[in-house]
Amino acid sequence: MSDVKIAVAGAGGRMGAAVIRAAQIAGASVHSAFDRHGSAAIGKDAGTLAGTDALGVAVVDDIATALAGADAIIDFTVPSASVMLARHAAEHGLIHICGTTGFTPGESDEIAAAARAGARIVKSGNFSLGVNLLAGLVRQAAKALPGFDIEILEMHHNRKVDAPSGTALLLGQAAAEGRAVALDDVSVRVRDGHTGPREPGTIGFATLRGGTVVGEHSVILAGDREMITLSHRADDRAIFANGAVRAALWAADKPAGLYDMADVLGLKD
Ligand SMILES: NC(=O)C1=CN([C@@H]2O[C@H](COP(=O)(O)OP(=O)(O)OC[C@H]3O[C@@H](n4cnc5c(N)ncnc54)[C@H](OP(=O)(O)O)[C@@H]3O)[C@@H](O)[C@H]2O)C=CC1
Ligand SMILES: O=C(O)C1=N[C@H](C(=O)O)C[C@H](O)C1
């Protein structure tokens, strides 16, 4: 068993349960598990809640209790909770694996500030191996095909609350880097009504929601009489949870700072 003691935030959620299962499979130590005050998960055994062996770790709603003695927080919750957890990680020099999506620019800035103030934060819109490899391919394709129109299409389950997905934005960021432009300057996130012709150089986003889809993303590069589609499909939340546990163990000997999954996977060398 690894000696990194993990506190699982949002333990009653879809990803919280997947993280508990992934930690057990990886032989990582689930030190504590917590959720929102009033959550139906409070008081239940974290392992039982996640559908595996009982862990002897009851889900609590007191964050200070949950984080006492922990080395790392794995956090797939909501933006306001993630900002608060990043601040706590800075105060106590903890590892914060932040998988939450849907941050405002101000919230993202607060998380970056916590990393400068002493937290070891690994933040990514997608913790899977496949999407992070795909991002490199998208960067390369966007650079090699400057005249092609780039559109990013994503589909998720009907419980998802933010759009575009964190992954779509991550892939958009990779495309923008390939083109050496700022994503905020070129992104088109909504189209409705008489939009006029497509503005060259823009990166468009389209969002679909329905059923139980775990996560599907396509980056379309549309040129003159030819089109390339680079796609990823997640079949199980375990791929994100495995990546998050891997990131927590990776961060154990790293200095404070803001990292992403490409750092963890060694994709920046
Ligand atoms: N980066 C990645 O690889 C991935 C990111 N995600 C992102 O992770 C986030 C969570 O997704 P998912 O698990 O599907 O969502 P869920 O709604 O199933 O889970 C979120 C959990 O967080 C809990 N929560 C809310 N507020 C707090 C708080 N203040 N303290 C502790 N827990 C809290 C919720 O409780 P309650 O329900 O009672 O409100 C819930 O149990 C989303 O932003 C999603 O986009 C998801 C998959 C992969
Ligand atoms: O909310 C989800 O479910 C997911 N969220 C992440 C995102 O916003 O990209 C990652 C994954 O696609 C699942």
Ligand 2 contact via 101 beta carbon (within 6 Å): yes
Query: What does the pLDDT read at residue 1?
Result: 62
Contact yes or no for 62/86 (Cβ under 8 A): no
Contact yes or no for 97/73 (Cβ under 8 A): yes
Active site residue 160: yes
Active-site position among 31, 44, 88, 160: 160
If pLDDT is split at 50, 70 and 90, which confidence band does 2 have? confident
Contacts of 6 (CB under 8 A, 6+ apart): 23, 28, 29, 30, 31, 70, 71, 72, 73, 74, 245, 248
Active site residue 156: yes
Q: Which of 163, 144, 156, 134 is nearest to 229 (CA)?
A: 134
Ligand 1 pocket mutation, candidates 78, 84, 123, criterion most atoms within 8 A of CB? 78
What Rg do the C-alpha atoms of the chain give, in angstroms? 19
The domains located in the chain, with CATH, are 5-123+237-265 (3.40.50.720), 129-234 (3.30.360.10)
Active-site position among 88, 96, 123, 156: 156
Stretch 250-264: mean pLDDT, rounded? 98
Contact yes or no for 45/54 (Cβ under 8 A): yes
ipTM tops 0.95: yes
Query: What does the pLDDT read at residue 121?
Result: 98
> pLDDT tens, 41-81?
999 999 999 999 999 999 999 999 999 999 999 999 999 99
